Amino acid sequence: MSRSDLARKVIRLGSGETLARLCSIAVMIFLGHKYGVVTVGVYSLAVSLSWYTVPLIDFGLRHIGARLIAQHPEHESEIVERVQRRRHWMVALAIPLLAVYAICTRLPLQSSAFVFLFSVTSTLYATSLDWAAWGKEHLQLVGGVRALIPFSILVAVLVSRAGSVSVLWWAAAGNLVGYLFQTAFFRSWWRRQRSRATPPGEGPFPSLIMESLAWRQSAVMGIAWFAQIAFNSIDTLMLGVVSGPEQVGLYSSAYRILMQVLVTYYLVVLALYPSLSRISSESRMTLLRSRVLVGLFTTGAAIAIVICLLRRELLAIVFGRSFLPAASLVLVLAWAIPLDFVTSYLNNAYIAWGMERKLLNCIVIAAGVNIVLNLIFLPKYGAMAAAINTIIAYVVYLVGLTSVRRSLKLQVQCSSA
C-alpha cells in the first residue's frame, strides 16, 4: 500500500474517530472541572467496564469476520449472519459478569448501580455491524458512526444541569441513545449493501470459512483479544475494587493524557488491517524490518518526552488543578507510548495474518504479569503501582512479540530455501 493510499484511509477513518475522541475527552474535562476526581473515577470505571463488553460479545469474531469479508466478499451475507447470531448469544453471558463486578466495587450503592447500567447499555454493541463495514474498508462510515456514542454522552451531560450523581445517570442515558443510533445507521447501511452485493459464489459455503468461524478457532482470537483489553485496562478495574474512586480518577486522568496520542496512532494500524490481511506470506517480513520497528519506537519516545515535560500543564488545562497529583503517574505512563507504538503494530499484523495462537501466548503472559503485580502492589501503593506495572507488562509483551517475529522470519527463510 502506498503512503498516499494509507493517508486517505487514515483520514477517512480518522474523520469520525477524531470527533469521537474529542467528545470523549470533552466529557472527562466537563466532569473533572465541574464535579472533581471522584465523579471522574466512577465514570471511568463504567467506561472501562464497557470496554470489556466488546471482546466478550465478539470473542474473536470482529477481527476474523472483518478478515473473511475482506478475503471472501462473495460470501459476505452468510458471514454476517453467522457472526451476528453468535454475538447476540454472548450478551446473555456478559450481563451477569457485569453485575458481579459492579457489586464488588468499593462504591456507594448508587454509583455501583450506575456502573452496571452504563455497561449493560453498552451490550447493544452486539447489534452493530461496524466490523462488517471495517472489513469492506468503509472506514469513514466506521469512524463517523462510532462518534455517535460519545457525542450522545456529551450532549446528555451538558444538558443535565444536575448534581454529581444525577449527571452520571444522564451519561448512561446518552450511552443508550448513542448505541441505538449506531445500530440504526449500520442496519441501514447493510440493507443497501445487500441490494448490490457481489453475487454469491457457486457451491456450498466454503469449509475454510466455516473452520475460521468455528468456536475452537475463534475462541483463540477471543481469548487473545480479551487478554489484550485486560492488558490495557485491568489496572482501572482493579483499582476500583481495592482503592476506590479517587485513585481511579487520578489514574484515569493520567491514562487519558497518553491515550489521546495512542488513539491517533491506532487509526493508522486499524486502517492498515484489511490490506495486511491480503499480504502474501513471502512479503510479510518486509513490513517487520528492524528499521521499521526502531522508527516506530523512536517516534513514540519523542512524543513521550514532550508529554513528560508538559505533564502538569496538560493535567491542569484538561482536568483541572485538583488532578495535579496525577503528574507523577503521567511521568511513568508516558513511556508506554513508544512501547505501544511497536506492540500495536506487531499485534495487528499478526492478527491479520491469522497468527492468533502465537499472539495468544504473548498477551496472556503479559496480562498475567500485570494482574499478579497489581494483586501484590495495588493495595499498598495504589495508582503508582498500577502505572509501574503497566510499563513492566509492556516490556514483557514486546519481548514475546519479538520472539514471534523471529520465528516468522525463520519460516519465511525455510520456505524460500
* pLDDT tens per residue across span 128-182: 888 888 778 777 777 777 788 999 999 999 887 655 558 889 999 999 999 999 8
Give the cell for residue 15: 474523520
List the single range of 78-92, 255-269, 374-388 with lowest mean pLDDT.
255-269
What is the arithmetic mean of pLDDT over 202-226? 70
Residue 404 has pLDDT above 60, yes or no: yes
List the single range of 177-181, 296-300, 357-361, 389-393 with lowest mean pLDDT.
357-361
User: How far is residue 331's CA from residue 334's CA, in Å, rounded to a whole number?
Assistant: 6
| Angle at the Cα of 318 from the Cα atoms of 316 and 320, rounded to 5 degrees | 45
List the single range of 29-33, 40-44, 110-114, 346-350 with lowest mean pLDDT.
346-350
- What was the pLDDT predicted at 202? 52
Task: Specify whether the CB–CB gap between 369 and 396 falls below 8 A.
Answer: yes
- What was the pLDDT predicted at 130? 83
Residue 13 has pLDDT above 60, yes or no: no
Query: What are the angstrom distances between the C-alpha of 25 and each of 41, 75, 245?
Result: 14, 39, 18
Residue 308 has pLDDT above 90, yes or no: yes
In whole numbers, what is the pLDDT of the chain averaged over residues? 81
Task: Specify whether the CB–CB gap between 50 and 119 falls below 8 A.
Answer: yes
pTM value? 0.73
| Angle at the Cα of 27 from the Cα atoms of 22 and 28, rounded to 5 degrees | 100
| Angle at the Cα of 344 from the Cα atoms of 353 and 215, rounded to 5 degrees | 45
Residue ranges of the domains in the chain? 3-196+207-416
Q: Which residue has the cell 490481511?
A: 277
| Buried b / exposed e along 191-213 (16+ C-beta atoms within 10 A) | eebeeeeeeeeeeeeeeebeebb
